[in-house]
Amino acid sequence: MDSQQWRCNGVAIEEPGDNYGFVYVITNLTNQRKYIGKKFFWSLKRKQVNKKKKRVTVESDWKKYWGSNDELKKDISLLGEEKFTREILHLCKSKGVTNYLEAREQFERHVLENKEEWYNSWIMVKVNRTHLNKL
């Protein structure tokens, strides 16, 4: 299995399809410590077109993304990417669903309660019931 690729149910994900984002777990293979996070496939950028600023959707850096946690990134830098796996837990159709499922996974797995098992050090989410219409 190539740790460089994002995998979902054992299958490498090459393209986002009609998904907006995903919830993932990165696992350190040397000590089994994990990180739960989310990443969006797309972002909005402002671009100058015919002297007018337009908002355009562009693909994010999701293929090369290794999380936002500083401690995790430090370990990846020290140990190398080959000592980590990246698994997609949920492919999501909207930003709100992505935010909700990330927080749900973090709370259900008690990521803040066990520093030896999880890299996560905080949970931040703002979700409205209407965000879950695409769940």
Whichever domain contains 85, its CATH number is: 3.40.1440.10
Residue 21 clears pLDDT 70, i.e. is over it: yes
For 101, the token pair is 């499922």
Does any domain span residue 2? no
Name the average pLDDT for the chain.
Answer: 92
Residue 103 clears pLDDT 50, i.e. is over it: yes
Number of domains in the chain: 1
Does any domain span residue 1? no
Q: Mean pLDDT check: name the lowest of 59-63, 68-72, 129-133.
A: 129-133
User: What's the pLDDT score for residue 1?
Assistant: 47
Across the range 42-53, mean pLDDT stands at 85
User: What's the pLDDT score for residue 2?
Assistant: 55
User: What's the pLDDT score for residue 86?
Assistant: 97
> Could you tell me the residue range of the domain that residue 41 belongs to?
7-134
